[in-house]
Amino acid sequence: MGWMLKDLAVSVPQTRNIVVLSADGLRMAQYGTDLDTADRLAAACAGLQSLAAAVATELPHSDGQMRLVVIEMTGGFFYLMAAGARAYLAVLADEGVDAGLMGARMRDLVARIGEHLSTGPRVDEQPA
């Protein structure tokens, strides 16, 4: 998966870090960052996607699923996109990144590899 993440980084100037994570915050892959940073980003993203899903339930016709979160910060942008069942794609980018290009390339990547990114639940969910 590394070459696909590299392709995203190369095709969108100003991209810094890319992390693929499971819904419970475990790093599945990364590009442009060390493992410790990728693990911290993955853990933070799990909390953020949970928060976004909770907010989504306040919309009358929402299914409660988070699709995309974009945060603009001093120094850059953060993107978190659903990338399959229980999997997410996270990107940190510098100021000056083309937001439209980033969104399009992330969607393209998710469409190409989304089914391979899906993760199952960690524990069998059996009725009581």
Categorize the per-residue pLDDT at 120 as very low, low, confident or very high, splitting at 50, 70 and 90.
Answer: low
DSSP string, 12-47: STTEEEEEEEETTS-EEEEESS-HHHHHHHHHHHHH
| Non-local CB neighbours of 21 within 8 Å, separated by 6+ positions | 27, 28, 41, 42, 45, 46, 87, 88, 90
| CA-closest candidate to residue 103, choices 6, 11, 3 | 11
Domains of the chain, CATH where assigned? 2-117 (3.30.450.30)
Residue 122 has pLDDT above 90, yes or no: no
Which amino acid, residue 108? D
Instruction: Tell me how far the alpha carbon of residue 121 is from its chain's centroid.
Output: 18
pLDDT of res. 128? 47
Average pLDDT over all residues of the chain = 88
80-118 residue pLDDT tens: 999 988 899 999 999 999 999 999 999 999 998 766 665
> Could you give the strand order of the β-sheet that contains 27-31, starting from the edge strand earlier in sequence?
27-31, 15-22, 87-94, 76-82, 68-73
